[in-house]
Structure formats: C-alpha cells, structure tokens
Amino acid sequence: MDTTRLFTTTPQQQPNDNTPDTHEINIANIPTLKLKVFFKDIETELKHREVTDKKKALERMRDIAGEYGLTLSEVINKDGRLDAKKPKLKNADQSHKAKYINPENPTQTWSGRGQQPKWVKEALAKGKTLEQLSIEQPETSAKEPEKDVFNV
C-alpha cells in the first residue's frame, strides 16, 4: 500500500461499506501540523468507536442470551469464559474426596466411586479389606480402662 495516499469515505458511507464512493487524498502534500491534527482526530474517533462498538456488542450478547431465557452472567463466567458447566452442588467436593489409599504407594487414592483401580483389586485379592485400605481407619477395639496402680 502506498503510504502517501489516504482513502476517505463520504459522510453517507458506513464503515466496511464496499461502495466505490471514496476520495483519494495524497497525504504527502499535507503540512505536518495538519497531519498531526488528523492523527489526533483519528485516535479520538478510534477510541470512541471502540467504546461504542463494545457497548453495542454487549447489548447484542445480552439480547441473544435473553432469547434463551438467560442472563449474560449465566452464560459467561467472571473470567470471561463460556460457562457451559453444570452448577456445582454444595456437597459436590465432599462426595469425590479420596476414601481409600494404597499403602504401598500413598500417591494412589480412590474415592470409592466408579471402577476399582488395579491396586485395590490386587489388595483385595491378597486378602485385604476395603476397611484396611480406608484413609479413615476405624478404631480396632475399644480402649481398656487403665488399671489403678494404687488400688491393688
């Protein structure tokens, strides 16, 4: 593109309008001070359009979400990403916590949901019980009361 030419549109023409109604301006013949004014005017217009374009896009997005009976915040999460996941239940995290641990490799755990991992199957085949693999081991027996050494 020749950097000394600037194409402008007529006032009736919309941006991205492909009509051939443009005017060619040779910017090489424009004084520097006038170019600086044009540059500031262009920067101001671009900032204004950026704000108005964002507002228009946001309003359009709200309208589209509304067509589905949703608010925009129900569609897009606080990080600006699509929020298509199901809402989490209050106790959802507790139901998937590890309940069983591999005594031979403590990095391996199992929540008790789904298929048993290979290490669980192997431990059960060796005669261990799920209680023995449990992270929260039940107390094996009630404590015997301590003997009173002074009352013999």
**Model confidence over 16-40: pLDDT tens digits?**
555 556 678 888 888 999 999 989 9
What Rg do the C-alpha atoms of the chain give, in angstroms? Answer: 36
Read off the pLDDT band of 1 (50, 70, 90): very low
Query: Does the pTM of the predicted model rise above 0.85?
Result: no
Residue 4 structure tokens: 């000394």
CB < 8 Å & 24+ apart, contacts of 80-89:
none
pLDDT given at position 42: 92
Any idea where the domains of the chain sit in the sequence? 1-30, 31-85, 92-133
